[in-house]
Structure 1
Amino acid sequence: MLLGDAVKLAASMLRGIQGKGIGERAEFYRYLKKHPKVELQTARFAYLLGLETIRRLNLVDRVLFEALGTPLNGVSDELLNILRLYVYWFMFKETTLEDHARFMQEAAPLLKGWERRNLEETALKLYNFKWEGLLKKLGDVERISLVKFHPQWFVEYCFRRFGRRFSLRLMDSNNQLKPSYLRVNTLKVDEEDALESLRREGVRLKPVPRVMHLYRLVGSKARLQSSKAYHDGLFTIQDKASCMAVYALDPSPREEVLDVCAAPGGKTSLIAQLMENEGRILSLDSSQNRMKIWRKEMMRLGVEIAHPILGDAANPPLKTLVDRLLIDPPCSGTGSFNVFPGMKWRLDLKVVETYARLQRRILDQCSRLLRVGGIMVYSTCSVMVEEGEKVIETFLNQNPNFELLPAYPGLEAPPLMSHPGPIRLYPHVDGSYGFFIAKLKRVD
């Protein structure tokens, strides 16, 4: 493994969450596309180095500020990101003094002359800094914010909504890697045949209770996307919560379904699977790039009844009435901090409310496309009631011709709203993204 290449790649991931960056994962893959000769072992190490630094970014930056005694906004992005990686390196990895020297030696060529000269002195200050003493002088919320690696506003919000014990468990789960799931695609293959193909390729799976065709990944000899079974469309990678939203919709063959904010296509393909490729699916999304991925996925998975529509869900370019409607609008992503930790540092309650306004608009406009007697499912990858329960309560108050149904019979959501029916999933409880799912029927 080449440590210098790993540091350079990990630093690019940190750039992905700065300013108008495209996100840590997207920046990681963009870098690899530009530098295809990076070794697999180096790329894996770099990904974990970057991801875990980003996960702990508030504590990392606080240590930098306290140790250096200077505001970080006076430091160049290049130097700042290398120092961030270094702080994570010595705080959270079992490293020796020789490891620290090697890190500095490999990182120095990535910097300009004057930054390079200051790097060794700065690193020595950081190495000698006793960060544990910092925590003793802090208040409760600020201390928990740093040791659980979440913004203070999020800690305060969770304590208020969920209570202390539940909130601490939620934040702990956000700092752990989420289970991976794959869904067998019965449009292409019998389920047992698909499982046998995966076994032959060294993939070990465990079935997920109550969620048909879904399996939790136990182990794999190689990356799933590089397997022949994946290339042949025998399965797709999809989170448990995403599947459950489609099962709540419960589409049938020969129906007409509208999938709103459909790209990159995981839900569309499961809808087609449950419809046995009979009927029609209208897949609406505003992103041309994401719809390119959607088209490739539909082809790979053998979906024949889905039709792409490029347009704004807040002003849908449709007049057709449908039997079933799935709305999974843009959201804060607070339910996916374990996979996308960089999102934690871009959000605040004002951003959440901006998403909630958009969600209310999309729900209001798209619900008009549902036939009388039709079924609608609204879901978000968020733990915020502003993007779930409150959106639905506002909608029901303004639309008495809709009623709530049990989203997933046998599962009950915590009492966060006055109407029964919706469910909530949490990473530490359900081993999935944090998700809200509500099911409604148009009665008039």
Structure 2
Amino acid sequence: MLTIIRIWENSLYPFITLFNRPPMNARESAWQIILEFEKSNRHLDGLLDHYLRKAELTGKERKFIYNLVSGCVRHKSLLDWKASTFYHGKYKKAFDKLKVILRLALYEIDFLPHIPPHATVNEYVNLGKRLLPRSNVGLINGILRSYLREGKHLNPEKEFKYVETQIAVRYSFPEWLVKRWLSQWDVKFVEEMCAAFNDRPVFDIRINPLKLGAAEFVKNMNSEKINCTASQTFENMFEVTDIQALMSTKMLQQGFFSVQDESGYLAVRLLDPVKGERVLDVCAAPGSKYTAMLEENVTNEVVVALEIDHSRLEKIRENCIRLQLPTGWIVQADARNIPFKKLFDKIIVDAPCSGIGTIQKHPDIKWRRNMEEIFRFQELQLEILSSAAQMLKPGGEIVYSTCTIDSSENEFVIESFLQKNGDRFEIVEPPELFSPFISEKKYIRTFPHLHGMEGAFAAKLKRIKK
């Protein structure tokens, strides 16, 4: 008999807050984490990280739980639609506990082919016996066995009239977001982008040139039996699929590398700070761009990291210590009111954004964001860019970057800024290195299906000398 206790709003203990006893296996753990995510709408990474650090699990169990949870969140709409097809009644009114069990089971059947489907059905029927009222057990068994017989014939294109609904269900994205994308790009582009966002994520690694070169890094990776692929754009970047294996090695604490998506590193290279310049990194946490600049330009006159949040500011300091870099100047301040008097040669604004370009690594983002948030980010971004631009020397350059693909947070911000400041600032065309990523308006744009990177944006502006 289960004893349900109150779920505290700020709790970080999904397996304690929901139940008064620990889960029996990995599937039940995944079920509890997804339920906590559905109820709290908190960051999925935080829930997973907290649970996986505290629970006594084998490495295999950790990977399995991570796969189940992230996969079910990634494909939520598709899995729910499939389950609803075999459910008699209004599926929206079904208990969340039942929906999550069906979602997990269907994910295993469709996306984990190494597990025999009938074994999956048995596992989740038994899980239902343990967690749900007896009346639901037969329902789970009936829906899953019906799906095994008839599920391959399901097709959203036959079921739904409108293309935005078809895409929203097949690729599991909120319909409002699909409609927004279809207003900017054609159907083929949006479908390919959605499919790429749903691919299993790979991770980019930036090696620390003060510690080792590319050849030595590859040698270390081979000794750890971890596969890596060199970047086609930057010689100090590598792609890794098994990030958990890499993070468990001594190389992380030895300061040999940092995890940074190649799209984020593009913004650093676009800024291109050189020896003797004063450089400011605005909204700098967690410090990927800041540490990249320190690694490559340790002799700069000064490199300042500005961050409003103290805990995130400490993360910058920790990364500098781990990489054995000079911490430079790390300042806690609001980017809308920068507290310096002396101007800078180069500035990078890594603006707070919706993060929609990172959906491949963070699938929960598509369910947590809404249009109102995007407009709030837009207003904040323009404020921060305008504030940072006042700190730039005549002839100096500023890069504005985000990890979103939404034009409201990207092109609109730059064009709004230039409408007010076009007599003092101009767009700088990126050099040849960036040609695969340059839009017709001289902006840097990356997309997962076109470039194998996160969706991101960057633009470089120059303050005109008078």
TM-score by length of 1: 0.89
| Pair 62,291 (structure 1): closer, same or farther in 2 beyond 3 Å | same
| Pair 414,243 (structure 1): closer, same or farther in 2 beyond 3 Å | closer
Query: For residue 184 of structure 2, what is the aligned residue in structure 1?
Result: 161
| Pair 422,5 (structure 1): closer, same or farther in 2 beyond 3 Å | same
Query: For residue 11 of structure 1, what is the aligned residue in structure 2?
Result: 31
| Residue 253, structure 1, aligned to residue 275, structure 2 | yes
Q: Which of 257, 262, 275 is the equivalent residue of 1:240? A: 262
Q: Supply the AA of the counterpart residue of 1:11.
A: W
| Residue 229, structure 1, aligned to residue 251, structure 2 | yes
Query: For residue 234 of structure 2, what is the aligned residue in structure 1?
Result: 211
| Pair 51,436 (structure 1): closer, same or farther in 2 beyond 3 Å | same
Q: Supply the AA of the counterpart residue of 1:7.
A: R
Query: For residue 122 of structure 1, what is the aligned residue in structure 2?
Result: 139
Query: For residue 291 of structure 2, what is the aligned residue in structure 1?
Result: 269
SS at match of 2:184: helix
Instruction: Determine the C-alpha separation between the residues in 2 that align with 1:189 and 1:410.
Output: 24
Q: Supply the AA of the counterpart residue of 2:63.
A: R
Q: Which of 40, 45, 69 is the equivalent residue of 1:25? A: 45
Q: Supply the AA of the counterpart residue of 1:53.
A: C
Cα offsets for 1:48-78 (capped at 9, x unmatched): 1111110111122334445252354662x54
| Residue 308, structure 1, aligned to residue 324, structure 2 | no
Cα offsets for 1:387-442 (capped at 9, x unmatched): 1111100011111211111234354588977xx32110111111110111101111
| Pair 100,425 (structure 1): closer, same or farther in 2 beyond 3 Å | same
Cα offsets for 1:254-293 (capped at 9, x unmatched): 3221111211111111011221354322112223332232
| Residue 370, structure 1, aligned to residue 392, structure 2 | yes
Instruction: Determine the C-alpha separation between the residues in 2 that align with 1:212 and 1:413.
Output: 17
Query: Does the 8 Å CA contact 1:246/1:267 hold for their aligned counterparts?
Result: yes
Taking the TM superposition and a 5 Å limit, the aligned residue runs for 1:413-432 are: 420-432=441-453
Taking the TM superposition and a 5 Å limit, the aligned residue runs for 1:128-207 are: 128=146, 132-133=153-154, 135=156, 136-139=158-161, 140-207=163-230
SS at match of 2:199: coil
Query: For residue 86 of structure 1, what is the aligned residue in structure 2?
Result: 105
SS at match of 1:231: coil
What CA RMSD, in Å, does the superposition of the two structures yield over aligned residues? 2.6
Q: Supply the AA of the counterpart residue of 2:320.
A: M
Pick which of 384-393 and 304-313 moved more: 304-313
**Deviation for aligned residue 1:295:** 1.8
Instruction: Determine the C-alpha separation between the residues in 1 that align with 2:219 and 2:211.
Output: 14
Taking the TM superposition and a 5 Å limit, the aligned residue runs for 1:328-339 are: 328-339=350-361
Query: Does the 8 Å CA contact 1:4/1:106 hold for their aligned counterparts?
Result: no
Instruction: Give % identity.
Output: 26
**Deviation for aligned residue 1:319:** 3.5
Query: Does the 8 Å CA contact 2:226/2:245 hold for their aligned counterparts?
Result: no
**Deviation for aligned residue 1:327:** 0.7
Query: Does the 8 Å CA contact 1:3/1:106 hold for their aligned counterparts?
Result: no
Instruction: Determine the C-alpha separation between the residues in 1 that align with 2:242 and 2:38.
Output: 34
| Pair 182,16 (structure 1): closer, same or farther in 2 beyond 3 Å | farther
Pick which of 258-267 and 116-125 moved more: 116-125
Q: Which of 63, 66, 72 is the equivalent residue of 1:47? A: 66
Q: Which of 120, 127, 142 is the equivalent residue of 1:99? A: 120
Taking the TM superposition and a 5 Å limit, the aligned residue runs for 1:288-299 are: 288-299=310-321
SS at match of 1:309: strand
Query: For residue 457 of structure 2, what is the aligned residue in structure 1?
Result: 436
- Total equivalences in the alignment: 434
Q: Supply the AA of the counterpart residue of 1:164.
A: V
**Deviation for aligned residue 1:361:** 1.2
Query: Does the 8 Å CA contact 1:249/1:377 hold for their aligned counterparts?
Result: yes
Query: Does the 8 Å CA contact 1:285/1:311 hold for their aligned counterparts?
Result: yes
**Deviation for aligned residue 1:205:** 3.2
Q: Supply the AA of the counterpart residue of 2:120.
A: D
Pick which of 403-412 and 11-20 moved more: 11-20
Pick which of 327-336 and 193-202 moved more: 193-202
Instruction: Determine the C-alpha separation between the residues in 2 that align with 1:415 and 1:213.
Output: 22
- Structure 2: any 5+ residue segments left out of the alignment? 1-21
Instruction: Determine the C-alpha separation between the residues in 2 that align with 1:371 and 1:101.
Output: 68
Pick which of 16-25 and 339-348 moved more: 16-25
Instruction: Determine the C-alpha separation between the residues in 2 that align with 1:157 and 1:416.
Output: 20
Instruction: Determine the C-alpha separation between the residues in 2 that align with 1:213 and 1:413.
Output: 19
Pick which of 285-294 and 296-305 moved more: 285-294
